[in-house]
């Protein structure tokens, strides 16, 4: 009778307990998956290597606990429990050390395209579109990363009820599609950051990945540089590539509107540089010859002052 009752009780207990154990196991697996999904690639790889190192260390110290096997009664069980605990300890220690150190020199070189750091693209530089021409020219090395929260912001702009915002957002999505076609290094980066604003998230992710930020946003530029993040500003690059203009140089310009001061006329070069022409207001609509008198460089760009060229 006892041989029948005990297995029956065990079976009933197993049936009652197994759903709870199954739910607990599913929650544990889900928690582990969420933790891994939230890691940067460099962190995940470093943690995995740290885990392997920890397991190797625990394997080599297992002989220390062999002596417990000779103890009466619970010796083998005690040896097993201690070995399991020390294995868990070294595994956890290896993961923590791996995440903290990130094996930075090797991991960055492997994941980010050699010695070139990855570039994080923000919304402004995507909508601007000039990044596409820069990549096509071959001047941009390293991986181009578009964080998922930037893509989400771009999609929300593309779905805006405002016509101008909607067209800008759709242009940004088109630029991303073209970038994916011309560059094999464009990736969507899934890792998020705890900050609420996109700029804060970008700075945090850039710090985690030791990446650079590509932007046209003045405020993000200042904030990121204050925190030691390298920022590549497309506007600054465009200003640096404009042809040098020196006082006394002659050029031709079309006067398109009146200036702020009396008798001033305003014209523009092909690259968008504004030219303020003294006594040029009366010549609006005409293409005239002028002589450069001075050049003013500001944070917004370059402005050229000129006077009418003597006939």
Please report the pLDDT score of residue 142 as a whole number. Answer: 80
CB 127 within 8 A of CB 79: no
Gyration radius of the chain's alpha carbons: 32
Residue 249 CB contacts under 8 Å (≥ 6 apart), including other chains: 291, 292
d(CA 85, CA 58): 10
Confidence at 213, pLDDT banded by 50, 70, 90: very high
Residue 152: CB atoms within 10 A of its CB come to 13
Point out the least confidently predicted range of 74-78, 202-206, 283-287, 289-293: 74-78
What tens digit of pLDDT does each residue of 257-301 get?
998 888 899 999 887 889 999 999 889 989 999 999 998 877 667
pLDDT > 70 in the chain, percent: 72
How many residues in total does the chain contain?
311
d(CA 187, CA 151): 11
Q: What mean pLDDT is reported for the chain?
A: 79
| Mean pLDDT for the stretch of residues 34-63 | 67
Please report the pLDDT score of residue 237 as a whole number. Answer: 85
From-to residues of CATH 2.40.50.140 in the chain: 245-308
Point out the least confidently predicted range of 16-20, 185-189, 197-201, 270-274: 16-20
Confidence at 112, pLDDT banded by 50, 70, 90: very low
Please report the pLDDT score of residue 240 as a whole number. Answer: 78
Is residue 18 within a helix (H) or strand (E), and if so which, with residue range?
A: helix 2-37
What CATH superfamily is the domain 113-240?
A: 5'-nuclease (3.40.50.1010)
Please report the pLDDT score of residue 192 as a whole number. Answer: 77
CB 75 within 8 A of CB 66: no
Any idea what the Cα angle at residue 67 is, between residues 63 and 69, rounded to 5°?
105
Q: Please check the confidence at residue 16 and state whether its pLDDT lies above 70.
A: no
- Nearest CA to 144 out of 202, 188, 205, 175 is that of 188
Query: 3-state SS string over 137-157?
Result: HCCCCCCEEEEHHHHHHHHHH
| Mean pLDDT for the stretch of residues 209-216 | 90
Residue 1 CB-half CA count within 13 A? 0
Q: Please check the confidence at residue 42 and state whether its pLDDT lies above 50.
A: yes
Confidence at 21, pLDDT banded by 50, 70, 90: low
Q: Please check the confidence at residue 117 and state whether its pLDDT lies above 80.
A: yes
Please report the pLDDT score of residue 290 as a whole number. Answer: 92
Looking at the chain, the number of H-run helices and the number of E-run strands are: 11, 10
Q: Please check the confidence at residue 105 and state whether its pLDDT lies above 50.
A: no
Please report the pLDDT score of residue 296 as a whole number. Answer: 86
Q: Please check the confidence at residue 191 and state whether its pLDDT lies above 80.
A: no
Please report the pLDDT score of residue 265 as a whole number. Answer: 93
CB 119 within 8 A of CB 129: no
| Mean pLDDT for the stretch of residues 63-89 | 69
DSSP state string for 61-98: TGGGGGGGGGSTTTHHHHHHHHHHHHHHHHHHHHHHHH
pTM, full prediction: 0.55
What CATH superfamily is the domain 245-308?
A: Nucleic acid-binding proteins (2.40.50.140)
From-to residues of CATH 3.40.50.1010 in the chain: 113-240
Q: Comparing 78 with 124, which gets the higher pLDDT?
A: 124
Q: Please check the confidence at residue 67 and state whether its pLDDT lies above 70.
A: no
């Amino acid at each position: 009778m006892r041989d029948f009752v005990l297995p029956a009780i065990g079976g009933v207990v197993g049936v009652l307990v197994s759903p709870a154990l199954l739910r607990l196991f599913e929650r544990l697996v889900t928690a582990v998956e969420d933790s891994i999904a939230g890691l940067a690639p460099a962190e995940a790889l470093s943690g995995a290597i740290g885990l392997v190192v920890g397991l190797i260390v625990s394997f080599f110290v297992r002989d220390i606990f062999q002596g417990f096997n000779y103890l009466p009664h619970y010796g083998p069980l005690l040896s097993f429990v201690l070995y399991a605990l020390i294995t868990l300890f070294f595994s956890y220690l290896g993961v923590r050390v791996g995440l903290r150190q990130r094996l930075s020199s090797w991991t960055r070189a492997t994941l980010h395209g050699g010695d070139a750091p990855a570039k994080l693209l923000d919304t402004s530089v995507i909508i601007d579109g000039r990044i596409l021409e820069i990549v096509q020219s071959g001047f941009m090395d390293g991986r181009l990363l578009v964080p998922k929260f930037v893509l989400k912001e771009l999609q929300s702009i593309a779905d805006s009820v405002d016509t101008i915002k909607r067209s800008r957002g759709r242009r940004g999505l088109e630029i991303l599609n073209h970038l994916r076609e011309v560059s094999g290094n464009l990736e969507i980066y899934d890792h998020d950051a705890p900050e609420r604003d996109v700029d804060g998230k970008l700075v945090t992710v850039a710090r985690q990945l030791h990446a650079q930020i590509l932007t046209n946003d003045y405020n993000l530029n200042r904030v990121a540089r204050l925190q030691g993040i390298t920022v590549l500003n497309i506007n600054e690059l465009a200003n640096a590539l404009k042809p040098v203009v020196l006082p006394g140089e002659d050029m031709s310009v079309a006067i398109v509107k009146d200036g702020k001061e009396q008798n001033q006329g305003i014209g523009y070069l092909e690259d968008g540089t504004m030219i303020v022409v003294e006594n040029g207001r009366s010549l609006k609509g005409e293409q005239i010859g002028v002589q450069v008198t001075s050049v003013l460089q500001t944070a917004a760009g370059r402005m050229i002052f000129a006077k009418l060229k003597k006939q």
